Structure 1
Amino acid sequence: MTKAIVYKFGGASVKDASAIKNLHTVLLNRLQNKMVIVVSAMGKTTNSLEEILKCKFSGNDYYSNCAILRKNHLAVCSALFEEQNPVFSIVENLFLQLERDLEHPLNRENYDQYYDRIVSYGEILSSKIIHAYLCTMGLYCVWQDAKEIIATDESFRSAKIDWSLTAKQCAKQLGEKLKKFPVITQGFLGASPAGKWTTLGREGSDFSAAIIAHSIQAKSVTIWKDVPGVLNADPKRFADTVKFDRIDYKEAAEMTYYGASVIHPKTIKPLANLKIPLNVRSFLDPEGNGTIIGDFPEERHTIPTIVVKDRQVLVTFEVTDYTFINESHIHHVYAELERLRLGVNMLQTSAISISICVNEELFKVEQLLEEMGDSFKIRYNEGLQLLTVKNYDEASKEQFLGREGILVEQTTRSTIQLVCKPDV
């Protein structure tokens, strides 16, 4: 029996009406029954929903933001459909549901769960619009609620996957459908057994595609991006980037760990476990070769790979009792990070201090500082960049180690990491 394939389209590939028309063009000669299409929210919708949440939390007016978001989605529909198309009612009803959900109280204690509920509307809206458009254009497919197939715990904003239950739900929900039609679903979303909406972490739609592919033992996964494949640096930040034609799973995992934004860091493992190849291709040039990530242990690249993570916080914990840093201090810090589900992007220790670099996350860093304040003297800096150069050479070493505004520098045999002020 032919195995299914999984396609994933990110926010840039569905950002507006012309992008959705292009998605249709990409699928036109590639669509097959045994295909799962995973889509993200349109453009910057998730950012807009996060801003609505911030307004709600601070007691400011958020209705105008909702109205703008609704207007934008309806404008996309107007550019794609005739006036009588039922998709307009679907979109209107989803915004009514969103507004009803926003009427519930929001506080620090329920913020993460509230966040998952609200931001989920972005993917639901985009998938409904894209599903309607593909069917209107004769590419018939079935809409599937991702919350019915991806099972998670209730670790809101970074939910953990129940792999066994997810596989069962995928078999139940997708098995018969894929024999007849392609299926379109949402990235980033899941649900707990109690039915609570969860998300898989920011930019988690890639991970969703990998979860589904693993659960149905897919033939391959293709992620459609606005770049020609996996590059050695972000072309929006650096000139003369180089595309990799093939990358081994292990090397790709290392790149995502350091923050390469082209692939979500959790995407590689479920695919590598089953040797499912991952293709990264451009929706702007769908005939291009792109990059294939697979089991290529002999494929080790030596060209410097540069990764920049923005919105970083550098926190330094300094002992106050004249002792030296030991395992108990590190364990204490990491236990609190684990409790808050706050990942460390870089760690450095000295005789009397531990410095960590973490993502800016509302409340979590604040809670970390509050909790550890009795045990350490704490200093921190916000709004920083973490710059990583993997496989550095003398030229790149000279280029980056010489820049201004470096707060922390760490060099190993193959990697340079710098925590620094943004390079404006």
Structure 2
Amino acid sequence: MQVFKFGGASVKDANGIKNLASVLKKVGYQNTLVVVSAMGKTTNAIERVVRNYFKNKKELQSAIQDVKKYHNDILLDLFDSDIHPAFKKVSTFFDELNSFLKTNKSPDYNFVYDQTIGFGELVSTTIISEYLNAIGLKNSWMDVRHYIKTDSYYRRANVNWEATQSEIKSRFKSSVLNITQGFLGSDANNFTTTLGREGSDYTAAIFAYCLNAESVTIWKDVPGVLNADPRYFENAQLLNTLSYRETIELAFYGASVIHPKTLQPLQRKEIPLYVKSFLNPEDVGTTIGKNKSLDPNVPCFIVKKNQVLISLSSLDFSYIVEENISEIFSLLHAYKMKVDVIQNSAISFSVCVDNMYDNLEALLLHLKAKFRVTYNENVSLYTIRHYNASALSQIETGKNVLLKQLTQETVQVVTK
């Protein structure tokens, strides 16, 4: 059993879908599960639908039509006639989306987000499955929500491993090519949940673990895992091999090529992970596995944009001690802030967070009741694994450094 994952960039248009089929033909698709993300920038487009639902109802239908037209254009490029069953199946999903938005009574943004956002994956996999069947690559379309069961932590759900393994064991048919969605699951009430942005990698790993797969391959628009994101850093290098531990470290610090939770289930069963190019599928790419070392041994750069640096000090110059820190973290948890860096001294405490749930204002109001608070929005957090003086200079030159933290292997720098 092998598990393949294709991201949105690989299936952003009809040519991308045809290329996916070509990749399967070149590398083989027997006993294969293909996990697919939403097409192109569809997730961003559906996020606009959710925002309009709450804040701008006049533009809601226009935003939905934009998403529908994008997928309809791809269908027209793939199929000779609009009477092909794929058109009706896709249209049915948009009917379901409209029906939910008309009947929903919940004011919870995160709940509505999860019930809405997954239509991107449901539509993309339906189109791909229908196209593969049309060209002779017979496959079975699976609704991943019947297989991956989670809690109700909408937008960042936690997997119920016992229930998930039970569903996969009883439902999954390994003898055929299977196509399913990344990113999605469902809770005990069968409401849709999501595993966090870029969660399709994690979906592939969950299935691999439960199916005792031989390997997982993530197909990207880059030749493999690079030591830096080429969008932000020049002269990025291909990493030939990585250990699970090193990759988990890179993912934890925010390397976008692998979802942070992906490696844990793979490591537990020592399932190798390959990262390859869907443009050159027969190239070697990057291998991540047991007893692999970082090759070549070079500094690895990670940047996270649009972070918030919050600095706290006591109002009476008393020490920031365990009791204060416990209270601070309780508030960070309550307001769903993802913590990326912590630094403290006797009377101050700084934390760099990701404000993905837009709760910053409420958090600051709460903190100001007990602490002197300063903060900087839209800061950048740079992390360098296996840093050297040259790598550190590259990051700091020309920037205002707000915080720096060094350990033996890693340096983190917050800049404005």
Which TM bucket (shorter chain)?
over 0.9
Instruction: Give per-residue Cα distances to partners, 1:146-168, cap 9 Å, x unaligned.
Output: 10000100011110111111111
Q: 1:409 deviation in Å?
A: 1.8
Change (3 A) 1:341 1:215: farther
Gaps of 5+ in 2: none
State the AA in 1 paired with 2:238: K
Answer yes or no: is the 8 Å Cα contact 2:239–2:294 preserved in 1: no
Q: Which residue of 2 aligns with 1:248?
A: 243
Residue of structure 2 aligned with 1:46, choices 43, 53, 57: 43
Alpha-carbon separation, structure 1, partners of 2:154 and 2:131: 32
1:300-336: per-residue Cα shift (whole Å, max 9, x none)? 7641100011221112222213211111111111122
Corresponding residue of 2:79: 81
Corresponding letter in the other structure for 2:100: D
| Partner amino acid, structure 2, of 1:178 | S
Given candidates 305, 308, 330, the residue that maps to 2:303 is: 308
Determine the structure 1 residue equivalent to 2:92.
93
Moved more, 289-298 or 244-253: 289-298
Retained in 1: the 8 A contact 2:9–2:39?
yes
User: Contact 2:242–2:295 (CA<8 Å) still a contact in 1?
Assistant: yes
**CA–CA distance in structure 1, aligned partners of residues 263 and 321 of structure 2:** 33
TM-score, with length taken from structure 1: 0.94
Letter in 1 for 2:11: V
Matched length = 414
- The within-5 A match list for 1:2-151 is 4-60=1-57, 61-83=59-81, 84-104=83-103, 110-151=108-149
Residues of 1 paired with 2:372 and 2:295: CA distance? 43
1:20-419 pair list within 5 angstroms: 20-60=17-57, 61-83=59-81, 84-104=83-103, 110-174=108-172, 177-179=173-175, 181-296=176-291, 298-299=293-294, 302-419=297-414
Whether the 8 Å contact between 1:106 and 1:114 is mirrored in structure 2 is no
User: Which residue identity does 1:14 align to in structure 2?
Assistant: V
Determine the C-alpha separation between the residues in 2 that align with 1:261 and 1:187: 16
Give the Cα–Cα distance (whole angstroms) in 2 for the partners of residues 157 and 50 of structure 1.
12
CA distance, structure 2, for counterparts of residue 106 and residue 321 of structure 1: 47
Deviations along 1:346-383, whole A, 9 cap, x unmatched? 11113322211122313333342233332223222222
What letter matches 2:3 in structure 1? V
Secondary structure in structure 2 of the residue aligned to 1:208: helix
Unaligned segments of structure 1, at least 5 residues: none
Question: CA RMSD, aligned part only?
Answer: 1.6
Structure 1 residue 343: Cα displacement: 1.9
Instruction: Provide the secondary structure at the position in 1 that maps to 2:317.
Output: coil
TM-score under structure 2 length normalisation? 0.96
CA-CA distance at 1:280 after TM superposition: 0.2
Going from structure 1 to structure 2, the CA distance change for 1:25 and 1:300 (only over 3 Å counts) comes to closer
Residue 132 of structure 2: SS of its match in structure 1? helix
Query: Does the C-alpha gap of structure 1 residues 363 and 103 become closer, same or farther in structure 2, counting only changes over 3 Å?
Result: farther
